[in-house]
Structure 1
Amino acid sequence: MDTVANRGPVVRPSYGPSSTGHEAANLGDILERVLDRGIVIAGDIRVNLLDIELLTVKLRLVIASVDTARELGIDWWKHDPFLSGRDRELVEENRRLRRRLAAIEDRTANDE
Protein backbone atom coordinates (compact mmCIF):
# COMPACT_ATOMS: atom_id res chain seq x y z
CA MET A 1 0.00 0.00 0.00
CA ASP A 2 1.38 3.40 -1.03
CA THR A 3 0.42 6.82 0.24
CA VAL A 4 -0.26 9.95 -1.75
CA ALA A 5 0.36 13.31 -0.05
CA ASN A 6 -2.83 14.64 1.62
CA ARG A 7 -5.01 11.89 0.13
CA GLY A 8 -4.30 8.93 2.35
CA PRO A 9 -3.43 5.39 1.34
CA VAL A 10 -3.69 4.16 -2.24
CA VAL A 11 -5.03 0.64 -2.46
CA ARG A 12 -3.83 -1.44 -5.38
CA PRO A 13 -6.26 -4.10 -6.65
CA SER A 14 -5.52 -7.74 -5.97
CA TYR A 15 -6.08 -10.30 -8.70
CA GLY A 16 -6.73 -13.38 -6.67
CA PRO A 17 -4.96 -15.14 -3.83
CA SER A 18 -1.23 -15.52 -4.06
CA SER A 19 -0.32 -18.60 -2.09
CA THR A 20 3.11 -18.84 -3.75
CA GLY A 21 4.21 -15.38 -2.65
CA HIS A 22 4.48 -14.13 -6.24
CA GLU A 23 2.79 -10.90 -7.24
CA ALA A 24 0.18 -11.10 -9.97
CA ALA A 25 1.60 -9.97 -13.30
CA ASN A 26 -0.42 -8.06 -15.82
CA LEU A 27 -0.32 -8.70 -19.55
CA GLY A 28 2.19 -5.90 -20.10
CA ASP A 29 4.65 -7.43 -17.63
CA ILE A 30 4.30 -10.87 -19.21
CA LEU A 31 4.79 -9.48 -22.71
CA GLU A 32 7.85 -7.54 -21.59
CA ARG A 33 9.40 -10.67 -20.06
CA VAL A 34 8.66 -12.77 -23.16
CA LEU A 35 10.11 -10.16 -25.51
CA ASP A 36 13.15 -9.65 -23.28
CA ARG A 37 14.00 -13.35 -22.98
CA GLY A 38 12.26 -14.73 -26.06
CA ILE A 39 10.19 -17.85 -26.49
CA VAL A 40 10.44 -20.67 -29.01
CA ILE A 41 7.50 -22.79 -30.11
CA ALA A 42 8.30 -25.79 -32.33
CA GLY A 43 6.20 -28.52 -33.82
CA ASP A 44 6.06 -31.01 -36.66
CA ILE A 45 3.03 -32.20 -38.60
CA ARG A 46 3.36 -35.44 -40.54
CA VAL A 47 0.80 -37.09 -42.78
CA ASN A 48 1.39 -40.79 -43.45
CA LEU A 49 -0.60 -43.28 -45.47
CA LEU A 50 0.29 -46.96 -45.04
CA ASP A 51 3.74 -46.05 -43.65
CA ILE A 52 4.41 -43.74 -46.63
CA GLU A 53 5.15 -40.19 -45.65
CA LEU A 54 3.01 -37.92 -47.80
CA LEU A 55 3.60 -34.57 -46.16
CA THR A 56 5.80 -33.09 -43.47
CA VAL A 57 5.39 -29.55 -42.18
CA LYS A 58 7.92 -28.20 -39.71
CA LEU A 59 6.80 -25.18 -37.71
CA ARG A 60 9.22 -23.01 -35.79
CA LEU A 61 8.03 -19.82 -34.12
CA VAL A 62 10.33 -17.44 -32.28
CA ILE A 63 8.80 -14.56 -30.34
CA ALA A 64 11.36 -12.05 -29.15
CA SER A 65 12.22 -8.38 -29.30
CA VAL A 66 14.35 -7.19 -32.20
CA ASP A 67 17.31 -6.69 -29.86
CA THR A 68 17.00 -10.21 -28.43
CA ALA A 69 16.65 -11.65 -31.94
CA ARG A 70 19.83 -9.85 -33.05
CA GLU A 71 21.68 -11.23 -30.03
CA LEU A 72 20.58 -14.70 -31.16
CA GLY A 73 21.83 -14.01 -34.68
CA ILE A 74 18.38 -13.71 -36.21
CA ASP A 75 18.12 -10.83 -38.68
CA TRP A 76 16.31 -12.23 -41.70
CA TRP A 77 14.24 -9.07 -42.08
CA LYS A 78 17.39 -7.24 -43.26
CA HIS A 79 17.88 -9.64 -46.16
CA ASP A 80 14.28 -10.38 -47.16
CA PRO A 81 13.67 -8.49 -50.43
CA PHE A 82 9.99 -7.93 -49.68
CA LEU A 83 10.67 -6.41 -46.25
CA SER A 84 13.80 -4.47 -47.20
CA GLY A 85 12.24 -2.83 -50.28
CA ARG A 86 14.43 -4.75 -52.74
CA ASP A 87 11.42 -6.60 -54.17
CA ARG A 88 10.91 -3.90 -56.83
CA GLU A 89 14.54 -4.26 -57.92
CA LEU A 90 14.12 -8.03 -58.21
CA VAL A 91 10.91 -7.71 -60.22
CA GLU A 92 12.62 -5.34 -62.67
CA GLU A 93 15.68 -7.60 -62.93
CA ASN A 94 13.37 -10.55 -63.61
CA ARG A 95 11.67 -8.59 -66.45
CA ARG A 96 15.06 -7.72 -68.01
CA LEU A 97 16.21 -11.32 -67.84
CA ARG A 98 12.97 -12.58 -69.39
CA ARG A 99 13.35 -10.10 -72.29
CA ARG A 100 16.96 -11.19 -72.84
CA LEU A 101 15.98 -14.85 -72.75
CA ALA A 102 13.16 -14.26 -75.24
CA ALA A 103 15.58 -12.44 -77.57
CA ILE A 104 18.09 -15.32 -77.36
CA GLU A 105 15.35 -17.85 -78.06
CA ASP A 106 14.17 -15.81 -81.07
CA ARG A 107 17.71 -15.68 -82.49
CA THR A 108 18.16 -19.41 -81.94
CA ALA A 109 14.81 -20.18 -83.62
CA ASN A 110 15.71 -17.95 -86.59
CA ASP A 111 19.13 -19.62 -87.03
CA GLU A 112 17.55 -23.05 -87.42
Structure 2
Amino acid sequence: MPPAKSMTHSVESTNLADLLERILDKGVVVAGDISIKLVEVELLTIQLRLVICSVDKARELGLDWWNHTGRPDRLASERNAALEAMDERLGRIEQALGAVVAAPFERGSTAHE
Protein backbone atom coordinates (compact mmCIF):
# COMPACT_ATOMS: atom_id res chain seq x y z
CA MET A 1 0.00 0.00 0.00
CA PRO A 2 1.46 3.43 -1.01
CA PRO A 3 2.19 5.91 1.81
CA ALA A 4 -0.50 8.52 2.45
CA LYS A 5 0.36 11.91 0.99
CA SER A 6 -0.66 15.09 2.72
CA MET A 7 -2.35 17.79 0.72
CA THR A 8 -0.24 20.92 0.14
CA HIS A 9 -1.54 24.35 -0.78
CA SER A 10 0.19 26.53 -3.30
CA VAL A 11 -0.97 29.72 -1.51
CA GLU A 12 0.89 30.59 1.66
CA SER A 13 -1.31 31.22 4.66
CA THR A 14 -1.27 34.72 6.17
CA ASN A 15 -2.35 35.43 9.70
CA LEU A 16 -4.13 38.59 10.82
CA ALA A 17 -1.01 40.24 12.26
CA ASP A 18 0.88 39.85 8.98
CA LEU A 19 -2.05 41.21 7.02
CA LEU A 20 -2.41 44.23 9.32
CA GLU A 21 1.33 44.94 9.11
CA ARG A 22 1.21 44.79 5.32
CA ILE A 23 -1.82 47.12 5.17
CA LEU A 24 -0.21 49.68 7.49
CA ASP A 25 3.09 49.52 5.63
CA LYS A 26 1.69 49.83 2.10
CA GLY A 27 -1.59 51.61 2.77
CA VAL A 28 -5.11 50.99 1.52
CA VAL A 29 -7.49 53.49 -0.05
CA VAL A 30 -11.23 52.88 -0.05
CA ALA A 31 -13.30 55.29 -2.13
CA GLY A 32 -16.98 55.39 -2.89
CA ASP A 33 -19.89 57.68 -3.61
CA ILE A 34 -23.43 57.47 -2.28
CA SER A 35 -26.15 59.32 -4.15
CA ILE A 36 -29.75 59.72 -3.07
CA LYS A 37 -32.14 60.68 -5.86
CA LEU A 38 -35.87 61.20 -6.01
CA VAL A 39 -37.47 61.30 -9.47
CA GLU A 40 -34.09 61.95 -11.11
CA VAL A 41 -33.42 64.91 -8.76
CA GLU A 42 -30.26 64.46 -6.76
CA LEU A 43 -31.02 65.20 -3.13
CA LEU A 44 -27.80 64.16 -1.44
CA THR A 45 -24.35 63.03 -2.50
CA ILE A 46 -21.79 61.69 -0.05
CA GLN A 47 -18.24 61.13 -1.21
CA LEU A 48 -16.30 58.70 0.97
CA ARG A 49 -12.51 58.57 0.94
CA LEU A 50 -10.83 56.36 3.52
CA VAL A 51 -7.08 55.91 3.83
CA ILE A 52 -5.75 53.21 6.14
CA CYS A 53 -2.00 53.34 6.69
CA SER A 54 0.69 53.95 9.28
CA VAL A 55 1.56 57.47 10.45
CA ASP A 56 4.88 57.28 8.62
CA LYS A 57 3.17 56.32 5.35
CA ALA A 58 0.60 59.10 5.85
CA ARG A 59 3.40 61.65 6.23
CA GLU A 60 4.99 60.34 3.03
CA LEU A 61 1.67 60.95 1.28
CA GLY A 62 1.37 64.45 2.73
CA LEU A 63 -1.51 63.57 5.04
CA ASP A 64 -0.60 65.22 8.33
CA TRP A 65 -3.76 67.02 9.38
CA TRP A 66 -3.15 66.09 13.03
CA ASN A 67 -0.21 68.54 13.11
CA HIS A 68 -2.58 71.43 12.40
CA THR A 69 -5.49 70.63 14.72
CA GLY A 70 -3.71 71.75 17.89
CA ARG A 71 -3.34 75.35 16.69
CA PRO A 72 -6.83 76.86 16.56
CA ASP A 73 -5.50 80.40 17.09
CA ARG A 74 -3.38 80.21 13.92
CA LEU A 75 -6.22 78.70 11.91
CA ALA A 76 -8.62 81.36 13.16
CA SER A 77 -6.22 84.17 12.23
CA GLU A 78 -5.72 82.67 8.75
CA ARG A 79 -9.51 82.44 8.33
CA ASN A 80 -9.95 86.04 9.51
CA ALA A 81 -7.27 87.25 7.09
CA ALA A 82 -8.99 85.43 4.23
CA LEU A 83 -12.36 86.94 5.20
CA GLU A 84 -10.86 90.44 5.37
CA ALA A 85 -9.32 89.99 1.91
CA MET A 86 -12.66 88.81 0.53
CA ASP A 87 -14.44 91.76 2.17
CA GLU A 88 -11.93 94.17 0.62
CA ARG A 89 -12.37 92.59 -2.80
CA LEU A 90 -16.15 92.74 -2.48
CA GLY A 91 -15.88 96.45 -1.67
CA ARG A 92 -13.85 97.06 -4.84
CA ILE A 93 -16.36 95.07 -6.91
CA GLU A 94 -19.27 97.09 -5.46
CA GLN A 95 -17.49 100.35 -6.28
CA ALA A 96 -16.80 99.24 -9.85
CA LEU A 97 -20.40 98.07 -10.26
CA GLY A 98 -21.69 101.36 -8.89
CA ALA A 99 -19.56 103.24 -11.41
CA VAL A 100 -20.87 101.10 -14.28
CA VAL A 101 -24.50 101.59 -13.23
CA ALA A 102 -24.09 105.36 -12.69
CA ALA A 103 -22.19 105.95 -15.95
CA PRO A 104 -25.24 106.22 -18.31
CA PHE A 105 -26.93 108.76 -16.00
CA GLU A 106 -23.82 110.91 -15.71
CA ARG A 107 -23.39 111.19 -19.51
CA GLY A 108 -27.02 112.02 -20.05
CA SER A 109 -29.22 109.35 -21.47
CA THR A 110 -31.11 109.94 -24.72
CA ALA A 111 -32.99 106.65 -24.62
CA HIS A 112 -36.37 108.22 -23.69
CA GLU A 113 -36.10 111.40 -25.78
The alignment's TM-score, normalised by the length of structure 1, stands at: 0.55
SS in 1 for 2:14: coil
Q: How far apart, in 2, do the equivalents of 1:38 and 1:26 lie?
A: 18
Equivalent in the alignment of 2:63: 74
Pairwise CA RMSD? 2.4
Q: How far apart, in 1, do the equivalents of 2:8 and 2:47 lie?
A: 39
Partner of residue 50 from structure 2, selected from 51, 55, 61: 61
Partner of residue 51 from structure 1, selected from 32, 40, 43: 40
Question: Highest CA radius of gyration, 1 or 2?
Answer: 2
Residues 25-77 of structure 1, C-alpha deviations (whole Å, 9 max, x = no match): 11111110000000001111000011110000011100000000111111111
Superposition deviation, residue 19 in structure 1: 1.9
Superposition deviation, residue 20 in structure 1: 1.9
Higher helix share: 2
Higher strand share: 1
Report the identity percentage: 54
Residue 14 of structure 2 is aligned to residue 19 of structure 1: no
The alignment's TM-score, normalised by the length of structure 2, stands at: 0.55
Change (3 A) 1:32 1:52: same
Give unmatched runs, 5+ long, in structure 2: 1-6, 77-113
Higher RCO by CA contacts (8 Å cutoff, separation 6 or greater) = 2
- The number of aligned residues is 71
